[in-house]
Structure 1
Amino acid sequence: MTAFSGSAESSAPAGPVRLPANQPRQFYRGGAAIAALRGHGAAREDGPEDWVASTTPRFGKDTDGLSTLPDGRLLRDAVRADPRGWLGEAHVAAFGDSTALLVKLLDAGQRLPVHFHPDDAFARRHFDSHFGKTEAWIVVGTSGEDPTVYAGFRHTQSERVVADWVRDQDAPAMLGALNSIRVRPGDTVHIPAGLPHAIGAGVFVVELQQPTDFSLTLEWRDFLAAPENGHLGLGFDTALRALDTTGWDAERLRTIVRDTAEDRASTVELLAGGARGFFRADRLAPGTGPVALDPSFAVLVVLDGEGTLRTARGNHPIGRGETLVVPHAAGELELSGTVTVIRCRPPAP
């Protein structure tokens, strides 16, 4: 039996906290898979993203996108009031009172536009942010005949050619220049900052990101109201400096794409190695024996089944469709039952 330890000094909760859906309005369609997972019935067509345990507002907004705890506080404010309780001493020493993580459920009811995100240095210079927006996708569901994601240019492109595509809004050229990757549940894709990408219709993912909302959108027509929304006020000449225009052949793609569907271990590390400096994700399936979890701030997405999270202070039943945030102060946990959980965590400090 695992020896449990918690924190008696912290004001953070001593166990996992269930979170309701948090679906800020988006510019594209989707949300049916989120509603089906959560068991909410009819889906909101403008709710393709569920921001889970979010301390990150939407770009240009004050509170839109932030998660609210059951006691009515914003999670952001609760973490700021007790960062060591929520995040742990080592995390605070490395990242301050930022969770260093944003998790979403993303259900693409239509293809997303071709876009990319800035790295830390670009975000610091142009957005006064410590974080850029590296991200990763864990495919948890698909629909339709050809569930596809797109990542990286197949061949190196000149900056002038890309600028011409953006000026002319040549969507076929942009999409056609990208690698298309057919996906199934269990596949994961790490998207380094700068990499052009898109998610195709019918792909449902758990998405991990650095905690920002910086999306630079090459293909803005038919998606965004104005080109300014594509370059976030920087102008495309500046925004395109953050774009990776190099070619990604099959060998390079293997460094960011993984197939984990056939791995039946009780704990499966899901993401390619390059993601570890930005976030961590595991699939937990205890099956016949409990899984011990070290103390850590974590976001849990329950994909299937029923189970129990045991802490030093009691048992917490969990089931399909629930999303939970776990404070560091909860201490060591033990997961048991016929349950499948995606555990998302910040990078190791």
Structure 2
Amino acid sequence: MELPANQPRQFYRGGSSIAALRGATDDREFGPEDWVASTTARFGQAESGLSRLPDGRWLRDAVAAAPREWLGPEHVAEFGDSTALLVKLLDAGQRLPVHCHPSDEFARRHLGSRFGKTEAWVVVGTSGPNPVVYLGFRDDVAPEVVDEWVSTQDSSAMLGSLNEIPVQPGDTVLVPAGTPHAIGAGVFIVELQQPTDFSITLEWDGFLADAESAFLGMDHRTALETVNRTGFGDAVLSSLIRRTGGQDAPRVPLLSEQAAPFFGAERLHGAAELAPSFGVLIVLDGDGKLRSDGGDVPVRRGSTVVIPHAAGPARLDGEITAVHCTPPAPWRH
């Protein structure tokens, strides 16, 4: 089923690249995130962020009513009625603040959730003179130093301590839970995440209303336990970053092997067979059809499609470039 745009208001600017991809005229200033096939609500919200199906139901409710049909029996045995996946289009109209996300273990202890928030970025567009992302501290940082930076909101020190990485379309970055990071202005990505909205915002001044909203209701020292303070050298960075822009094979694996317990993504060029699975398809260019037991769905540049497991084997036909996102295989988790 093709889904419409789903752009809950955010605190930072962006959205024009999403509008351009979808061929829309609505490039709202604070619509930088399009939550695609989302069964995850924004933190502290009941419905904001959830996706609706064409028949008006929340996708979350449809999956909960028929999890085996949507997700498959093996997935349900491991993850219940959770899709175990959140996909977004994210268009950074300004630099995002330095932040990080909790691990599964921290989320269980402090947030009552099975899932933390490891994520990955698939760069699909860039603009401006210096499109960059920031990933991990360059050197080990003592806990009292991080505490001081956050307490005094020393933005220049926080940002300056991170690895600055130039990016271009086709680059992909895995962001393990706990990694301090930021996305620079002019970077347009498909973002895969575990299905939560947990962010620890280290650099909140100038972005959020107050510190209270930066730490998910926790005191800041508890929240800072999430931060990986270990420096990321070249070997670590090379294990997390892939450069796939020059690859035009029919199927291009996009993410580091370390992503497999969390999600999967590949870029498809032209006709492709898709195994039965819950999945999200984002069409970057071209037009064609997605054929399955559930019928044919016409797709074109800007289409975002949710695929249930019960659709069976599917086939993408046409001169199309698309990103296909899937949850973790249960046996890899």
TM range (shorter): over 0.9
| 2:277 is equivalent to residue 296 of structure 1 | yes
Q: SS at the partner of 2:239?
A: coil
1:121 and 1:62 mapped to 2: Cα distance? 24
Which consecutive residues of structure 2, in runs of 5 or more, have no partner in the other structure? none
After superposition, give the CA deviation of every residue in 1:67-91 in whole Å (9 maximum; x if it has no partner).
0001000000000000000000000
Of 247, 255, 258, which residue of structure 1 is paired with 2:231? 247
Of 267, 282, 288, which residue of structure 1 is paired with 2:266? 282
Aligned ranges 1:147-226 → 2 under 5 Å: 147-226=131-210
Residues 169 and 273 of structure 1, relative CA distance in 2, 3 Å threshold = same
Which consecutive residues of structure 1, in runs of 5 or more, have no partner in the other structure? 1-16
CA contact (8 A) 2:35 2:87 kept: yes
1:302 and 1:84 mapped to 2: Cα distance? 26
TM-fit CA distance, 1:335: 1.1
Greater relative contact order (Cα < 8 A, sep 6+): 1
Aligned ranges 1:1-349 → 2 under 5 Å: 17-286=1-270, 290-349=271-330
CA RMSD after TM alignment: 0.7
Q: Which amino acid aligns with 2:273?
A: A
TM-fit CA distance, 1:338: 0.7
2:77 and 2:259 mapped to 1: Cα distance? 21
TM-fit CA distance, 1:314: 3.3
Residues 332 and 199 of structure 1, relative CA distance in 2, 3 Å threshold = same
After superposition, give the CA deviation of every residue in 1:317-349 in whole Å (9 maximum; x if it has no partner).
210001010000100011121101100000011
CA contact (8 A) 2:2 2:297 kept: no
TM-fit CA distance, 1:308: 1.4
CA contact (8 A) 2:289 2:299 kept: yes
1:133 and 1:108 mapped to 2: Cα distance? 19
Q: SS at the partner of 2:159?
A: helix
Q: Which amino acid aligns with 1:111?
A: R
Structure-2-length-normalised TM-score: 0.98
Q: Which amino acid aligns with 2:284?
A: L
After superposition, give the CA deviation of every residue in 1:47-78 in whole Å (9 maximum; x if it has no partner).
00000000000000001100000100000000
Runs of 4 or more, structure 1, over 3 Å off, are none
Q: Which amino acid aligns with 2:239?
A: T
CA contact (8 A) 2:86 2:194 kept: yes
